[in-house]
Amino acid sequence: MDFIVEGFAQAFSLIIHLDPELLNIIVLSLEVSGIALIVASCLGVPAGSALGLKKFRGRGLLISLSNAFMGLPPVVVGLFVYLLLSRRGPLGFMGLLYSPSAMIVAQAILIFPIVTSLCHSAVVSVDPIIRQAAFTLGATPWQTSLTVMREARYGILSGIIAGLGRAMGEVGAILIVGGNIAGYTRVMTTTIALETDKGNFELALALGIILVIISVLINIGLHLIQRKGMVKILR
Amino acid sequence: MSLELLISNISKRYDHTTVLTDCSFKFESGGIYVLTGPNGSGKSTFLRICALLETPDSGEVKYCSDGQLLAKDISLRRRITLLLPKIGVFNTSLFNNVAYGLKIRNLGKNSALRVAHALDFVGLLTKKNQQALTLSSGETQRLGIARALVVEPEVIFLDEPTASVDVRNTEIIEDIIRKIRKDGRSIIMTTHDMYQARRIGGKLLVIKDGKIIDHPG
Amino acid sequence: MRMRKASLLLILVIFSIALTYAQAPSAEIICASTTSTENSGLFGYILPIFEEKTGIIVKVVARGTGAAIEMGKRGDAHMVMVHAKEQELKAVEEGYFVDRHDLMYNDFIIIGPENDPAQIKGLKSAHEAFSKLFDTKRFFVSRGDNSGTHTKELAIWKKAGLEPKGQKWYLEAGQGMEKTQRIADEKRAYTLTDRGTWLATKDKDNLEMVIVLEGDPILFNQYGVMAVNPEKLKHVKYKESIEFINWLISKEGQQAIGNFKDKNGNQLFIPNAQ
């Protein structure tokens, strides 16, 4: 029991003194997941919206695929990206394996289906009378689409934040493709895994505390946004 | 401002129900027409086809201006507007709702005055910064009218404008419609309330057997 | 009828539990060692010999040297076999371990990409090579985990009078030797490794790397064994650990170590217990 209490005490000390190694790891985590989120959103929001707004052949299949891929095990995504990026793989010439870029790629792939599916859901739940209203007020098809997306903004934002939550808590994929190299590809989750393994509980606990705080904040944010969006639906 | 609407021999069926059969009518510019008939008789369908929201199975919808047949493109669509029985209000302020029509026509800049004028016309100016979803159903209808009027359409279609509205707001809305009429715009509205039809005035029509005819009597 | 079936089942359950417990007390010790030693395959060769002779089962948990020594200090292992003499002696001095002996040695080598962009080949000393790497700023992957290899690597940097920590090209893997090599391979980098791991893994992992420097005396790698001090941690299996250590430094054990060859027929470790 002692070592747990001691661990917590030292963890708080690291946090309060803004230990530079700790900060570096946190910043890298936010960078990797943040950029992955931006990439996944830039692709996922238009993709999900298109799936919700336009009718075309194969639409149903794509929606099913997107929903199915939300459940992709992260470690499998890691394996796949590893094979893709390793020197002997098809994209090996880019020399991306064991770098932050590889981690961003893996996480972007992981959260893209989440953003797409949730965005699609949000767009599809917009009352059809909005589309009709836009039409009757003289909107072009493109303007109508944007109007529907604007009405779905809370749902879309929820999807993006859900994606962020998933990315920040993930360890399998980025461990495989990043290599967990100090100061280079070591983020909060992978450091916790490593340091616990080595028996250095102070750093692991400190990061664990921070990660839990961040996750909780993300979830609170998500909840608040969904609530704001809900109030409107109760017409 | 002269937009004529010519309906020729249109038919429309949903699944196995034929709603309109070989229906024809000519709407003059600047006229006011009230279309009555029991629920389910096809009034809404007719209005939606006229407003180009739906297409007929057969027959033609023609808009003419000064004798010229107009193409059914976006510029024509922007000269007419349809108010549905349930207004699709946007999740934002009243001001932004009304400004929408101007924004999509690239007239967003300096629109504040026009928006205020439209809100005032329907008696909602004091609530301009309120969230639109907090309005009562009567106020929502009025917002819908303001939103439609701000872009100064030449033809206004109103589908059951007071169907789900309380008595007080019904009076207000009927007043508004009469005010619109004075502006010289074409108004084509539907109602199942004969008394309302007479209060509004204008040409009384009825849908019978899928066709539009003048109301007897 | 049902009562009979139920009691039969109960007897079966009790019997199997008893059987499991009956088997447990066979002597078993945990030896913390390093990933490089594990990867070389040495344990796979010598442990069966020892087990057959004494019935004692040795379970090897492989970590980096630092972590292995920590495991011993915590009592999560009963004995330790690593290759960082300075750290070992210090831990003995601090009272955590007893009965330390030199066991065997092998050597470290510097490996790098086939085309050797930093032109290390041809240099004679390790610290010269490190200086060149520092100047050319080519990626270098360090163990970064207080292992024996890492300790040796830091000693070489010190000899060269350089501090690589914080440099953008200096990557600290913090993981085992095999993984460190693979990272170096992927990133076309240089690294310090032990010959045992190199020989055992270079074909298996399809490493496109070559030895760029070897033979400098500083690269000499001494292994040691020591038992966790039973006075500090009462529960450790000191008796069995001592038996294993004594066997390792005995003529028989030393011969076994010397006889161990990798699959290409190379002797990986040279026994040198006194």
CATH number (domain holding residue C169): 3.40.190.10
User: Both C212 and C114 in a single domain?
Assistant: yes
Residue C136 belongs to some domain of the structure: yes
State the residue range of the domain holding B139: 4-214
User: Both C112 and C211 in a single domain?
Assistant: yes
Whether the predicted model's global pTM rises above the 0.90 cut:
no
Residue in A closest to B52 by C-alpha:
A136
User: Both C139 and C76 in a single domain?
Assistant: no
Least confident window among B190-199, B207-216, C58-67: B207-216
Residue C1 belongs to some domain of the structure: no
What per-residue string of b and e applies to C88-99 under the rule 16 or more CB within 10 Å gives b? beebbeeebbbb
What tens digit of pLDDT does each residue of A77-94 get?
999 999 999 988 999 899
- Three-state helix/strand/coil letters over A140-180: CHHHHHHHHHHHCHHHHHHHHHHHHHHHHHCCHHHHHHHCC
The DSSP element (H or E) to which B162 belongs, if any, is none
Distance from CA of A97 to the nearest CA of C (A): 7
User: Both C67 and C131 in a single domain?
Assistant: no
| CA gap A101, C96 in Å, rounded | 44
User: Both C101 and C116 in a single domain?
Assistant: no
Range B91-100 average pLDDT: 94
Query: Inter-chain contact B151–A150, Cβ cutoff 8 Å?
Result: no
Residue C2 belongs to some domain of the structure: no
- Give the one of A87, A99, A194 whose C-beta lies nearest to C174's C-beta: A194
User: DSSP assignment of A2-22, as one string?
Assistant: HHHHHHHHHHHHHHHTT-HHH
Residue A235 confidence class, pLDDT cut points 50, 70, 90: very low
Q: Considering its fold, how many domains does chain C have in total? A: 2
Q: Is the CA virtual torsion A205, A206, A209, A215 positive or negative?
A: negative
What tens digit of pLDDT does each residue of B171-192 get?
999 999 988 887 778 999 999 8
Predicted local distance difference test score (pLDDT) of residue C39: 82
What residues of chain A lie within 8 A of the CB of C171, using their CB? 181-182, 184
Decide if B105 touches A, using CB distance below 8 A: yes
What tens digit of pLDDT does each residue of A172-217 get?
999 999 999 988 999 999 999 988 887 788 888 888 999 999 999 9
Q: Considering its fold, how many domains does chain B have in total? A: 1
Residue type, A34: G
User: Both C85 and C149 in a single domain?
Assistant: no
Residue A233 confidence class, pLDDT cut points 50, 70, 90: low
Distance of CA A83 to the CA centre of its chain: 22
| CA gap C212, C209 in Å, rounded | 9
Domain end call among C185, C203, C219: C219
Beta bridge partners of C108: C194
Q: Report the complex ipTM.
A: 0.89
Residues of chain A contacting C, Cβ within 8 Å = 86-88, 95, 97-99, 179-184, 186, 194, 197-199
Residue C16 belongs to some domain of the structure: yes
| CA gap C171, C188 in Å, rounded | 12
**Selection from A189, A146, A180, A152 nearest residue A26 by Cα:** A189
Specify the CATH number for the domain of residue B62: 3.40.50.300
Residue C144 belongs to some domain of the structure: yes
Q: Distance between the two ends of chain A, CA-based, in angstroms?
A: 54
| CA gap C160, B45 in Å, rounded | 89
Residues 6+ apart with CB under 8 A from A178: A98, A99, A100, A102, A103, A185, A186, A187, A190
**Under 8 Å between Cβ of B36 and B204:** yes
Predicted local distance difference test score (pLDDT) of residue A34: 95
User: Both C118 and C211 in a single domain?
Assistant: yes
**Selection from A199, C150, A139 nearest residue B151 by Cα:** A139
Beta strand C79-82 with C220-228: parallel, antiparallel or unpaired? antiparallel
Instruction: Supply C27's token pair.
Output: 């002597």
| CA gap C154, C160 in Å, rounded | 10
Tell me how long chain B is: 217
- Give the one of A88, A181, A194 whose C-beta lies nearest to C206's C-beta: A88
User: Both C155 and C199 in a single domain?
Assistant: yes
Predicted local distance difference test score (pLDDT) of residue C192: 95
**Collapsed DSSP state (helix, strand, coil) of residue C84:** coil
- Give the one of C63, C71, C173 whose C-beta lies nearest to A179's C-beta: C173
Predicted local distance difference test score (pLDDT) of residue A199: 76
Residues 6+ apart with CB under 8 A from C83: C34, C36, C37, C65, C148, C149, C194, C221, C222, C223, C224
Beta strand B211-214 with B203-208: parallel, antiparallel or unpaired? antiparallel
Domains of chain A (ranges, CATH numbers): 2-233 (1.10.3720.10)
Q: Is the CA virtual torsion A192, A196, A198, A201 positive or negative?
A: positive
User: Both C28 and C102 in a single domain?
Assistant: yes
What residues of chain A lie within 8 A of the CB of B148, using their CB? 136-137
Chains B and C are in contact, defined as 3 or more C-beta pairs closer than 8 angstroms: no
- Neighbour-count burial of A231, counting CB atoms closer than 10 A to its CB (0-12 exposed, 13-18 middle, 19+ buried): middle
Distance from CA of C68 to the nearest CA of A (A): 9
Residue A123 confidence class, pLDDT cut points 50, 70, 90: very high
Q: Could you tell me the maximum CA-CA distance found in chain A, to the nearest angstrom?
A: 71
Residue B82 confidence class, pLDDT cut points 50, 70, 90: very high
Q: Which residues of chain C have pLDDT under 70?
A: 1, 20-26
User: Both C51 and C34 in a single domain?
Assistant: yes
Instruction: Supply B184's token pair.
Output: 């010289």
**Within a 10 A sphere around the Cβ of B181, how many other Cβ atoms?**
18
What tens digit of pLDDT does each residue of A125-160 get?
999 999 999 999 999 999 999 999 999 999 999 999
Residue C229 belongs to some domain of the structure: yes
State residue C97 phi and psi, 5-degree precision. -130, 160
State the residue range of the domain holding C17: 7-106+222-271
Distance of CA C12 to the CA centre of its chain: 43
Residue C249 belongs to some domain of the structure: yes
Distance from CA of A91 to the nearest CA of B (A): 45
CA distances from C14 to A147, C18, C24 (A): 71, 6, 16
Distance from CA of B205 to the nearest CA of A (A): 23
**Under 8 Å between Cβ of C180 and C34:** no
What residues of chain A lie within 8 A of the CB of C206, using their CB? 88
Residue in A closest to C166 by C-alpha:
A183
Q: What percent of chain B has pLDDT over 90?
A: 53
User: Both C64 and C114 in a single domain?
Assistant: no
pLDDT, averaged across chain C: 89
What tens digit of pLDDT does each residue of B115-167 get?
999 999 999 999 999 999 999 989 999 999 999 999 999 999 999 999 888 89
Q: What percent of chain A has pLDDT over 90?
A: 72
| CA gap B156, B186 in Å, rounded | 6
**Under 8 Å between Cβ of A162 and A215:** no
CA distances from C197 to B102, C176, C203 (A): 73, 10, 11
Query: Inter-chain contact A180–C173, Cβ cutoff 8 Å?
Result: yes
State residue B141 phi and psi, 5-degree precision. -60, -45
Distance from CA of A137 to the nearest CA of C (A): 58
**Selection from A211, A212, A217, A207 nearest residue A12 by Cα:** A207
Q: Is the CA virtual torsion C206, C208, C213, C218 positive or negative?
A: negative
> How would you classify residue B76: left for phi > 0, otherwise alpha for psi between -120 and 50, otherwise beta?
alpha
Distance of CA C262 to the CA centre of its chain: 16
